Amino acid sequence: MERNVDVAIIGAGTAGLSAMSQVRQAKKDFVLINGGELGTTCARVGCMPSKALIQVAHDLHRREIFEREGIEGGAGLSVNLPDALEHVRDLRDILVDRVLANSTDQMGETFIDGYARFVDPGILQVGQEIIHAKSIVIATGTRPLVPDEWVDFGEHIITSDTIFEMEDLPQSIAVVGLGIIGLEIGQALSHLGVSVTGVDQLETIAGLNDPRASQSAIELMARTFPVWLGHQARLTSEGSQIRVSAGEHSVVVDKVLAAMGRRSNIDWLSIENAGVDLNEAGLPVFDPNTMQCGESRVFIAGDITASNPVLHEATDEGRIAGYNAARQNSTAFKRKTPFAITFTSPNICTIGAAFSSLDPGTIEIGEMRLGPVGRALIMGMNRGIIRIYVDKSTGILKGATLVAARGENLAHLLAWCIDEQMTVLQLLRKPFYHPTMEEALQGALRDVLSRLDLQKTDVPPELEVLT
């Protein structure tokens, strides 16, 4: 069987569905091809079930400060782990069902269940079916990376894709990889009573490269569970358990969470037949403003690009890819300010330009530690740091790193400000309510202002003269 379409979209995740919406709007003939489970990575195994687990863990952990606040009985609270995990799955299933109801459930023959591979440029094969497409969007996503040598440990190895299917939690676990996924799940499990050990071969966590922010994050995470850095994890069987060794450290655990990143789903695509240039990782080379692969009619979007694997970026990339795939000529679109949030307590956030990418000779850094911040003190969360990176000559905000309670809100504020190329003075002249966490940002702005090469006047910097 053969069919001809304007656009073939491979992958029914967030990026693929976003691409499909644009192709539909352009009234082009298309097919959506997907192998494996439906429902998007975010809804099924990613951000949504993980945040549901984090919420349960946070609610339980909050009892730790009840006595200080005069609330009695907190020590008697406990969690029924099987019920908690069932609650997480129930929420997940609701979200997955919503995705399916609004996407693939009513697509009929335009949806193809199977794994696509390139036969030639513009030609795909799915099972026995051959599809000729004028444009092709690749949005096949990723899967957890598990070292080959770990496969023999079988069910002792879990991933972010499998942990939410567990009926109960283990008594002990080693989290190998302390990026966003490892930190979020590791802290949540620890707050739920699991004995957690965190391991990473890097000297930092959460992808941080600002040394002061990194140190703050490490110190705070180490208050929750042991953190072993700078050595690769080695696994050996120990009866019915696993021994995890890293440098001079060693621990015996029931399970190991593999959280060393995710691998692009490109293996079965026969991408070498697509007529596109490939990078060293075997992924198509593409323009991030058009999502087009060279001069071909192949577009790529979402986590598979291995660039910024977060939902809002996947959504935008799908929109860009779908828009251009449905048209003869590609349009270049401005990309949004990048930022990432780790939903630990406190949040760990990076916004805009990374610390390591900036020229130390051209920037000044504003810093505010959370110790004296009134709102943070009231919440019992006055540990952490805010670091902002500002251009010396213009005062324009370039980036920031936060280790702070409610950092997810501050991160959005800062991303919007960076998008608008706002200066320190412009930000200081905005209203800051008291007492709020935003006052911590105000403190960092005031800190950096004194060192900036800006015109000095006797007018208070927070005030603007009417003209």
Residues 320 and 349 in one domain: no
Residue where one domain finishes, among candidates 206, 228, 261 = 261
Residue where one domain finishes, among candidates 261, 286, 305 = 261
52-90 per-position pLDDT tens digit:
899 999 999 988 888 888 898 888 889 999 999 999 888
Assess if residue 464 is contained within a domain.
Answer: no
Assess if residue 460 is contained within a domain.
Answer: no
- Number of CB atoms found within 10 A of residue 18's CB: 25
Backbone angles phi, psi at 446, to 5 degrees: -65, -35
436 CB burial (10 A radius; 0-12, 13-18, 19+): middle
Assess if residue 330 is contained within a domain.
Answer: no
Poorest-pLDDT segment among 308-312, 314-318, 366-370: 308-312
Residues 40 and 78 in one domain: yes
- Number of CB atoms found within 10 A of residue 384's CB: 26
Burial 124-152 (b: 16+ CB within 10 A, else e): bbbeeeebebbbbbbbbbbbbebeeebee
Q: What is the dihedral of CA 407, 412, 414, 420, to 10 degrees?
A: 180
Tell me the pTM.
0.93
**Angle formed at CA 165 by CA 159 and CA 168, multiple of 5 degrees:** 100
Name the most confidently modeled range: 111-115, 294-298, 449-453: 294-298
**Which is higher by pLDDT, 298 or 34?**
298
Poorest-pLDDT segment among 210-214, 282-286, 311-315: 311-315
Residue 394's pLDDT band, with cuts at 50, 70 and 90, is: very high
- Structural element, H or E, at residue 409: helix 407-419
Assess if residue 465 is contained within a domain.
Answer: no
Asked whether the bond before 346 is cis by omega within 30 degrees of 0, the reply is yes
pLDDT over 60 (residue 44): no
The packing angle between helices 47-61 and 180-191, to 10°, is 40
Residue where one domain finishes, among candidates 325, 352, 371 = 325
Assess if residue 37 is contained within a domain.
Answer: yes
Residue 105's pLDDT band, with cuts at 50, 70 and 90, is: low
Residues 17 and 137 in one domain: yes
Residues 237 and 274 in one domain: no
For residue 357, the enclosing domain spans 339-449
236-254 per-position pLDDT tens digit:
999 999 999 999 999 999 9
Average pLDDT, stretch 289-301? 97
β strands within 153-296, DSSP E = 157-158, 172-176, 195-200, 227-229, 234-238, 241-246, 249-253, 255-258, 262-264
Residues 48 and 95 in one domain: yes
Residue 41's pLDDT band, with cuts at 50, 70 and 90, is: low
Residues 241 and 314 in one domain: no
Residues 138 and 287 in one domain: yes
Asked whether the bond before 435 is cis by omega within 30 degrees of 0, the reply is yes
Assess if residue 457 is contained within a domain.
Answer: no
- Cα–Cα distance measured from residue 251 to residue 463, given in angstroms and rounded to the nearest whole number: 57
Residues 177 and 286 in one domain: no
Q: For residue 57, what is the domain's CATH number?
A: 3.50.50.60
- Cα–Cα distance measured from residue 370 to residue 405, given in angstroms and rounded to the nearest whole number: 9
Tell me the percentage of the chain whose pLDDT exceeds 70: 96
126-165 per-position pLDDT tens digit:
999 999 999 999 999 999 999 999 999 999 999 998 998 8
pLDDT over 80 (residue 333): yes
Residue 453's pLDDT band, with cuts at 50, 70 and 90, is: confident
pLDDT over 80 (residue 456): no
- Cα–Cα distance measured from residue 357 to residue 158, given in angstroms and rounded to the nearest whole number: 34
